[in-house]
Structure 1
C-alpha cells in the first residue's frame, strides 16, 4: 500500500515547480490572480527575495504540492491508501484527498501565512541526533518552561519552538552539551502558544468556508490519526498551535500496512520517513490483522469486513464505493429495485472503483417468481459482476448455480478457478450445509442439457462448493430467524468441518458473522468465536451514504437496544417469516402483526368484520380495499404475472395476502422517501446493533448521523476490537495462575 506525503515550510527552493507551471497554465494563472503576484516568477526567479517570507512561502508550497499531485495522477499514479503532509503540507494532503478544491486551499494557506508571519517575537531550533523524549528531558533540565517540541520529525530530529530569548539561551545550552542544532530562519515560534492570536483570527476566517471530510484518510499532524468526519476546520485551527507529530504519523501508517511513500512538492520528508522506518516495530494488534487472511486475499481486501446489501438500494453505490476504496467489502442493495436501477447502480460502482477494488451485489431469492432470478443473473453476467451476496435462499436454485458455474475455468494442474463468487447469507445449519456442498447434480445436468453450461463448467462445478464464503446471520435487522450468535456460529463451524472432510476442497471455506455487530466488543467477540470476517448492517443504514431519507436517519440515530420489534416480512408474508424493524415512534410493527393475525384467522377480505375493514382503510391504507386491489391488479399485469393474478381471483385467501402485502410495500416506500405526513406507518429495518453503536458514540462527533461514514465506522469498529483484544490478552497474561 502507498502513502502520498507533502513537505511543509523549509522545503521551498528557488526553481521549484519548473516542470509544473507550463503543464498547468490555467491553475498557474488562477493562483497568480488570487495571490496578486506571479507564482511562476516567485518560484523560479524570486527577484525580490520573498520566497523565504512566510506569507509568500506557504501559498507557493501549496501551489507546487497541489500541481505536483495533479501531474502524478495524470501520469498514472495509483490510488493512495493514505495522505499526509508536514504542517503546511497537510493542506496539500487535504486538497488531494478531496476535502476542498484548489482555490479554497489557496485562500486558506494565503491567510494562514499572513497571520503566522505577523506573530513575531519567537524562534525555532532544529535538534539532530536526538529524539523527542531526549530533547524534552533537556528542556526540563535547563528549565526552559516556555519552550516546546513543536515538530517531532523522526527519532533523530525534532524542532523546538518558543520565545526568541529562550531559543537563544537554548542554543548555548545545547552547544555546551555537544548536541547538534541549527537555528531556523523563521519569523516566529510556529506550532506553539505564541501562535494563539493567529489561531483565533484563523478560526474566524474559516467560518466563511464549508470544508469537507477527506474522501481518502488524511493523517492529522496534531493527532497522528486520520481526520474524523466533520472535523476539518477544527483540526486546521488547532494545528497552528499544536505540535506536528510526524514520527507518530509515519508509525501509524506503517502499522496500517503502508510499504511505499511518495513525496510530492519537495524532497525533505523521505529521509525523515526512512529514519522512522528503520527503528519501527509493529506494536500490538491492528484492525487489519483481525480475521482470515484467506478471506482478505480472496477478495483483494485490506480488512476482513463487509457491509450487507440493505434492501431497496439503501446500501447505495456511494456506500459500496466508499467501502471499496477503504479496502472493505460492500454489497449493493438490490432487493425491491427495478432491473434498470440495479444496472445503473452497478455501473456507478464500477466507474468509481475500476478494477482495483472489490465490491459485490446482493442477489435476493424470489420464491414467487423464479424468472426474476434468471433475469438478475443476466444482469450480473452482462456487467461482469464477480461477487454476489445470496440472501433469503432456503435452497440452491438453478439461477444461482448458473451464475456460479459460468465463472469456472481450469487453472494450473486442472484445478478449478472461480471467477464468480457467492457469499451465502444463512441462518440455519441445513441451509449452510447445502451451500457448503457442490451444486446438486440434477440442477447441473438440467442446465447442461439446456445448453446453459458447458461440459467442463458442469464438471468443475462438482469440485467446488456453491459458496466458499458463508455469512452466518444471527438475529439482525431486516429478515431474521432470531438466531443467537453464540449458539449459531459454533454449530456452523462444525458443519464446515464436516463439509471440508467430506469433499476435500482445495480452497478453504470461510465463515463470517452478521447480526448484532455494532461495537468493538461485539466485533472482538465474533473473531474470538471463530469468525473469519464480520458483516455489519444496521449501523450502515444511519450514515451519510445510506440511500434512505433524512427523516429515518434522524429517528435511527437516537434509538437504544430495546427500540426494535418483529413484524411479518412483506415478501414472505404467507410463510410467516419475520423482519426486525424500528418500534420507537412508529405503529408499523403493531399494524403489520395485526394484518398477519387477520390473514391467519379469516378466509378472505370479504370475511373481515365491517369495523375492521373500515379501520384498515382509514389508518393503514388510506384508501378503500377495492382501490388497493385495483393497484395490485395493475402491478401484476404490468409485471406479466398473470398466473398469480388468476390464482388470486380464484382463491380469496391469496387475494387477501396480496392486498395486505401492499401495506408492507407502502410503509417501506414512504420511509425511504421521508414522507412527513405518515411517519407512524414507516417500515424501517434495523436491529439492536444500531442502538449499541449509538450508545458507544454518544458524546462524540459520530453521535450525529451527518458525521457517520460507512468506511470510518468499519475502521472504528475494527481498530477498537483490536485494542479490546490486546487489552484483554495483556490482562490475562498478568493475572495470577
Structure 2
C-alpha cells in the first residue's frame, strides 16, 4: 500500500444527527465533542438533534462540521490508523491543521467558531450565493466570470466542476450564459459567497484572531487550499487568513498529494462529497469515508486488510 491521506469535509455536507454514532462508538470522538461543548454550549445538541435549517446557518455549520471532521479522524487514530498527510476543504482545513498538531483541539474549535461568525457577518453584508458549474472547462468558466462583474471562480473541485460565488443580481445572467455554452449549474446549500472578495472583512477578522494564537509546527504534511502546497513551519496564520477570501484549489491539492505517493484517501466528516471529487480527479486511487460508527468499522476493516 502507498501513502494514506485524510481529507476533511467542508461546508454543505451537514445533516441532522451527524456525529452522534461516532460519539457513542469512540472515546476519542466523544472527547472532541465534549471539548467543543465546554467552549460553545449547545454544539452537541445542534449536531445530534438540530434541524437542517439551524445547522445550515454558517455560524452553526462550521463549529458543528469541525467536530464531526475531527471526531472521525481521531476515531481512526484511536484505532491505530495514522495518515501520512492531510488536507481539508474550506472549513475542513481548520480541522486538518488541528489534527496535525498546529493547534490544540480547544484552539482549533475556538478558531473555527470565530471563523464561522466572521464569515456569517461578511455574508450578511452582501446578497450573494454559490453554484457549481458542470461540464465546462475551467478556462471557459473563468471567461464567463470576467463577462459578469460580481461573479468569481472560487472552488476548483475536479475536472469539469468549478464553483462560482456571485451577487444574486448577477448570477441569473451568468447561469443563463453557462447553459448557452453547454454547461449546467447546481445551486449550493451555503449562506454566502465564500472564498471570494465578498469575504475580505472575514479574512481581516480572522487575521486579528490568528495574531493572538500560538501556532505550532505541523506533525505531518498539511496541504493548503490557498496554494495546493504543504504548509511551511511559519505560514499557518497567513494561509488560514488568505483561504477565506481566495479560491480553494482542491483538484490541484489532490493531484499533488497523489504525486507525493498517496494512493488511499479517507474522507473524514459528514457526507461523501470529497470522495466524489477525488474519484473524478483520479479513478485509480482507493477512497473510503468515515462519518459514523458503521463507516468507521467498514473503513478500519478495509484498511487493515490491505
Counterpart of 1:58 in structure 2 is: 62
Q: Which has the higher contact order (CA 8 A, sep 6+)?
A: 2
- Unaligned 5+ residue runs, structure 2? 286-306
What is the CA distance between 1:146 and its match in structure 2? 2.9
TM-score, length of structure 1 as denominator length: 0.36
Q: Is the Cα–Cα contact under 8 Å of residues 144 and 177 in structure 2 kept in the other structure?
A: no
Structure with bigger gyration radius: 1
Q: Any idea what SS the aligned residue of 1:153 has?
A: strand
Name the counterpart of 1:245. 249
Q: 2: CA distance between counterparts of 1:169 and 1:208?
A: 43
Residue 279 of structure 1 deviates from its aligned partner by 9.6
Distance 1:116-1:75 versus aligned 2 partners, 3 A rule: same
Deviations 1:328-374 (A, max 9, x none): xxxxxxxxxxxxxxxxxxxxxxxxxxxxxxxxxxxxxxxxxxxxxxx
SS of the aligned residue for 2:239 comes to: helix
Give 1:48 deviation, angstroms: 8.1
Is contact 2:16–2:52 with CA below 8 Å preserved after alignment?
A: no
Q: Tell whether 2:151 aligns with 1:180.
A: no
Residues 1:234 and 2:224 aligned together: no
Contact map agreement 2:10 2:92 (CA 8 A) in 1 = yes
Q: Deviations over 1:626-685 (max 9, x none)?
A: xxxxxxxxxxxxxxxxxxxxxxxxxxxxxxxxxxxxxxxxxxxxxxxxxxxxxxxxxxxx
> In 1, are the aligned partners of 2:225 and 2:253 still within 8 Å (CA)?
yes
Matched-pair contact (CA < 8 Å) for 1:213–1:231: no
Point out the more displaced range, 129-138 or 189-198.
Answer: 129-138
CA distance in 1, matches of 2:52, 2:249: 34
Residue 265 of structure 1 aligns with which residue? Answer: 269
Q: Is the 8 A contact 1:213 1:227 kept in 2?
A: no
Distance in 2 of aligned mates of 1:153 and 1:170: 19
The answer (yes or no) to whether the contact 2:155–2:249 under 8 Å persists in 1 is: yes
Equivalence for 2:168: 164
In structure 2, what is the Cα distance between the partners aligned to 1:44 and 1:233? Answer: 31
Contact (CA 8 Å) 2:16, 2:51: kept in 1 or not? no
Residue aligned with 1:119, SS: helix
For residue 40 of structure 2, the aligned residue among 35, 48, 53 is 35
Please list every run of 5 or more consecutive structure 1 residues that lacks an aligned counterpart in the other structure. Answer: 281-737
SS at match of 1:61: helix
What is the CA–CA distance in structure 2 between the aligned matches of 1:213 and 1:129, rounded to whole Å?
40
Rounded to whole Å, the distance in 1 between the matches of 2:138 and 2:181 is 17
Count residues with an aligned counterpart. 276
- 1:258-337 paired onto structure 2 within 5 Å: 258-266=262-270, 267-278=272-283
Per-residue CA deviation, residues 678-727 of structure 1 (Å, 9 max, x unaligned), is: xxxxxxxxxxxxxxxxxxxxxxxxxxxxxxxxxxxxxxxxxxxxxxxxxx
Distance 1:47 1:276, change over 3 A: closer
> Corresponding residue for 1:85?
88
Structure 1 contact 154–275 (Cα < 8 Å) conserved: yes
The Cα shift of 1:46 comes to 1.0
User: In structure 2, how many angstroms separate the alpha carbons of the residues matched to 1:151 and 1:113?
Assistant: 18
Three-state SS of the structure 1 residue aligned to 2:55 is coil
What are the within-5 Å matches in structure 2 for residues 695-706 of structure 1?
none
When residues 229 and 173 of structure 1 are mapped into structure 2, their CA distance, relative to the original with a 3 A threshold, is same
